[in-house]
Chain A
Amino acid sequence: MPTPPLLALHGVCKRFGVVEVLSDIELEIRAGQVLALLGDNGAGKSTLVKAISGVTPADKGVIEWEGRAVHIRRPNDARELGIATVYQDLALCGNLDVVGNLFLGREIRRHGFLDEVEMEHRTRHLLQRLTRGIPDLRAPVVSLSSGQRQTVAIARSLLGNPRVILLDEPTAALGFEQTAEVLDLVDELRDRGLGVLLISHNMGDVKALADRAAVLRLGRNNGFFDVNTASQEQIISSITGATENAPRRPAHREAEW
């Protein structure tokens, strides 16, 4: 029997009022693989990420962690499973400094008080691995450049030694050099055996990094691809809707037709 994927989604649905944003989503994230999540604007990519990370929990469907069904109702549930998320808007606290942001919600304490020295020490250690230009660790995060903020957000997600990491357009706001830094990092994470979900609009990045790609279209699955064998045209036509690759529908739904 093959090992179950780290994280699997079956029939996940999410609606906001009358709008069904996600319907019957299937997804598998495996250890040591990068899964690219592709789709046009409004396809539901970010909503799916928020459903997995517990920010806006799914209404229906099953989420399995290593083959076992789990409930993710709050961000903390996802964090405790070992799912870390870098949101598109980063979700950093602008008035806190770099150290404060990294350890927010899991501060290190010493005699009951915050151990700033230890936290700063670890922050420096972690950032040294991620980037060459370490920002001022005691500056409020709003004063950093967008690239530095991205690095802080990624560093924060790595802090709890997660097993799955969700990256929502991590390179959209970055320049050339920083993009390369982030992509190298994704590569490294995969080599260390993490499961990575990467949302990106850049087909070049996807081709270079991802092992598999899942396409969403209008809140539904619209095809899974092996990035190494599928052509770019196939994937793009699936994103734009030129081809309908609707997945197998559940049997009871078939019967209704």
Chain B
Amino acid sequence: MVKGTQSVIRTVEGWGTVFRRKLSAGELGSLPVVLVLAVVWIVFQSLNNNFLSPRNLSNLSVDIVGTGLIAVGIVFVLLLGELDLSVGSISGLAAAVFAVLNVNNGVPEWLALVVAVLAGTVTGAVQGFSFAKTRVPAFVVTLAGLLTWNGLMLYILGTSGTVNLDEGGLLARLTSYYFTNDFAAYGLAAVGAGLVFLVSYQDRRRRKAVGMPHRSLRAIGVRTGVLAVTAFAAAYLLNRFQGLPLALLLFLLVVAGLDVVLRRTHYGRQVYALGSGVEAARRASLNVTRVQTAVLAVSGTMAAVGGLFLASRITSVSQNSGSGVLLLNAIAAAVIGGASLFGGRGTTWNAVLGILVIQSIASGMAITDTPAAVQFIITGGVLFAAVVIDSLSRRSQEAHGRA
């Protein structure tokens, strides 16, 4: 018993040392954004008891999906050290393509969905190819794209202005369908935690077999445990309202899938390599043009998918779709979540954390009847803080010989 306590204390002390080292070396990872999120939640909960209610959190979990998906695409572009300013326009364009095909021309919903998403992929790929070939910075190419695609969207919508979507249709159900059975949410939590445990355990087994350093079983257990507790708590909350939202399930699947693509595939490795410098990647025989084109195609695709989810949430498409603060929110989400503006550092989960912060602030402001002006100022402050942390951690890494 005493021995067990001692080893626990030693483990905690070990974490403390690691934490201090990472703090001074500027490798904080997701810690700052998690702290910010906690502060935001505590402040709004103290202002209004309903903020952390199952109903509000459940709505929040659906509200993050549209912009969150766009932010995931932005993470890919940030990894290259570039910026995509066209995602707002592309999301509007995709929604308009869907609305005109389905509502105005009677094309089946699934086909209209596929065409709308492909429209995003193609526009993104066109921008990516121009960026790769002309070597004009991506933010300039996509700035041109922002205007072009927005114009194209207005042209497609024509004089019709606002198009209302079928309330009971496939697209509308993307954000209105809930798995009311409690087992759906708990099952997802269990499967997620189980998969993480299995992958870490399998990794440990193979490493041990060839005599390489590996994680201790306790470290794997703690990691999986923290994840499982968070997941089951979220599932419990969701079940106390309407159950697991379909939109949230799809969002998490996409984020997890793209995370695997980035960190565990040949393609993802190339994206990270390009983030540290085109020349080094080129000399390692990488096809720079292809990777750059593919990255902007991913960001265009995610923008289109996100735009469709946003349209689904309000079941209408108008000339304002994809305009306003959407673009800024998507970029801010990726950066607040911890993806570096300098390229080469970040994962798709950064987008999830970032959009959670942004949407929490928006939701809290709405629930406490604070004017939008204040919301912008606060979101701006958080974004500024995130950029400063990014820059400071980079400078601190340089001082520690790590950048």
Of A74, A87, A120, which one neighbours B212 at CB under 8 angstroms?
A: A120
A75 touches B283 (CB 8 A): yes
Q: Which residues of A contact B223 (CB under 8 A)?
A: none
B277 touches A117 (CB 8 A): no
Closest to A121 in B: B210
Size bracket of the A interface: 20 to 34
B285 touches A109 (CB 8 A): no
Complex-state Cα separation, A152 to B38, whole angstroms: 42
Q: Which residues of B contact A203 (CB under 8 A)?
A: none
A112 touches B265 (CB 8 A): yes
At the interface, yes or no: B402 with Cβ under 8 Å from chain A? yes
Complex-state Cα separation, A130 to B212, whole angstroms: 18
Question: What's the nearest-Cβ distance from chain A to residue B70, in Å?
Answer: 24
A143 touches B280 (CB 8 A): no
Q: Which residues of A contact B279 (CB under 8 A)?
A: 91
Complex-state Cα separation, A143 to B400, whole angstroms: 7
Complex-state Cα separation, A67 to B39, whole angstroms: 71
Q: Contacts A95-B276, A121-B212; is A87 near B283 (CB within 8 Å)?
A: yes
At the interface, yes or no: B154 with Cβ under 8 Å from chain A? no
Contact with A along B258-294 (1 / 0, CB 8 A): 0010001110011011011101111111100000000
B269 touches A100 (CB 8 A): yes
A55 touches B283 (CB 8 A): yes
Question: What's the nearest-Cβ distance from chain B to residue A170, in Å?
Answer: 16
Q: Which residues of A contact B397 (CB under 8 A)?
A: 142
**Number of cross-chain contacts by CB at 8 Å:** 81
A93 touches B400 (CB 8 A): no
Complex-state Cα separation, A124 to B210, whole angstroms: 11
At the interface, yes or no: B13 with Cβ under 8 Å from chain A? no
Complex-state Cα separation, A96 to B270, whole angstroms: 10
Contact with B along A111-140 (1 / 0, CB 8 A): 011101100110010000000000000001
Q: Contacts A114-B266, A117-B203; is A91 near B280 (CB within 8 Å)?
A: yes
B269 touches A75 (CB 8 A): no
B401 touches A142 (CB 8 A): yes
At the interface, yes or no: B10 with Cβ under 8 Å from chain A? no
At the interface, yes or no: A12 with Cβ under 8 Å from chain B? no
At the interface, yes or no: A107 with Cβ under 8 Å from chain B? yes
Question: What's the nearest-Cβ distance from chain A to residue B252, in Å?
Answer: 20
Q: Contacts A93-B273, A104-B269, A105-B286; is A117 near B212 (CB within 8 Å)?
A: yes
Q: Which residues of A contact B266 (CB under 8 A)?
A: 107, 109, 114
At the interface, yes or no: B20 with Cβ under 8 Å from chain A? no
Complex-state Cα separation, A114 to B269, whole angstroms: 9
A69-106 residues with Cβ-Cβ distance < 8 A to B are: 74-76, 79, 85, 87, 91-96, 100, 104-105
Q: Which residues of A contact B344 (CB under 8 A)?
A: 93-95
Complex-state Cα separation, A142 to B345, whole angstroms: 13
Closest to B343 in A: A95
Size bracket of the B interface: 20 to 34
Complex-state Cα separation, A73 to B210, whole angstroms: 40
A114 touches B285 (CB 8 A): no
At the interface, yes or no: B403 with Cβ under 8 Å from chain A? yes
Question: What's the nearest-Cβ distance from chain A to residue B251, in Å?
Answer: 23
Q: Contacts A76-B285, A142-B401; is A93 near B280 (CB within 8 Å)?
A: yes
Question: What's the nearest-Cβ distance from chain B to residue A153, in Å?
Answer: 10
Complex-state Cα separation, A117 to B345, whole angstroms: 22
B194-252 residues with Cβ-Cβ distance < 8 A to A are: 203, 206-207, 210, 212
Contact with A along B44-57 (1 / 0, CB 8 A): 00000000000000
Question: What's the nearest-Cβ distance from chain B to residue A55, in Å?
Answer: 6
Q: Which residues of A contact B345 (CB under 8 A)?
A: 95
Question: What's the nearest-Cβ distance from chain A to residue B168, in Å?
Answer: 39
Complex-state Cα separation, A192 to B220, whole angstroms: 44
Closest to B282 in A: A75
Q: Contacts A124-B212, A143-B401; is A104 near B284 (CB within 8 Å)?
A: yes
Q: Which residues of A contact B277 (CB under 8 A)?
A: 93-94
Question: What's the nearest-Cβ distance from chain B to residue A86, in Å?
Answer: 11
A93 touches B283 (CB 8 A): no
Q: Contacts A117-B210, A121-B210, A142-B403; is A79 near B276 (CB within 8 Å)?
A: no
Of A92, A104, A109, A142, which one neighbours B286 at CB under 8 angstroms?
A: A104
A91 touches B284 (CB 8 A): yes
Complex-state Cα separation, A73 to B116, whole angstroms: 40
Of B270, B282, B402, which one neighbours A140 at CB under 8 angstroms?
A: B402
A117 touches B275 (CB 8 A): no
Of B210, B281, B402, which one neighbours A142 at CB under 8 angstroms?
A: B402
Q: Which residues of B contact A124 (CB under 8 A)?
A: 212
Complex-state Cα separation, A185 to B269, whole angstroms: 29
B332-355 residues with Cβ-Cβ distance < 8 A to A are: 343-345
A92 touches B265 (CB 8 A): no
Q: Which residues of A contact B401 (CB under 8 A)?
A: 142-143, 145
Complex-state Cα separation, A114 to B343, whole angstroms: 22
Closest to A139 in B: B402
B380-403 residues with Cβ-Cβ distance < 8 A to A are: 397, 400-403
7 closest Cβ pairs, A-B complex: A95-B344, A76-B285, A93-B276, A143-B402, A105-B284, A91-B283, A95-B276
Q: Can you sample 28 A-B contacts with CB below 8 Å?
A: A75-B283, A75-B284, A85-B283, A91-B283, A91-B284, A92-B280, A93-B273, A93-B276, A93-B281, A94-B276, A95-B343, A104-B269, A104-B286, A105-B270, A105-B284, A105-B285, A105-B286, A107-B269, A114-B265, A114-B269, A117-B203, A117-B207, A120-B212, A142-B397, A142-B403, A143-B400, A143-B401, A145-B401
Q: A93-B277, A93-B284, A95-B345 are in contact. List 10 more A-B contacts (CB 8 A).
A: A55-B282, A74-B285, A93-B273, A95-B275, A100-B269, A105-B285, A117-B203, A117-B212, A142-B397, A143-B402
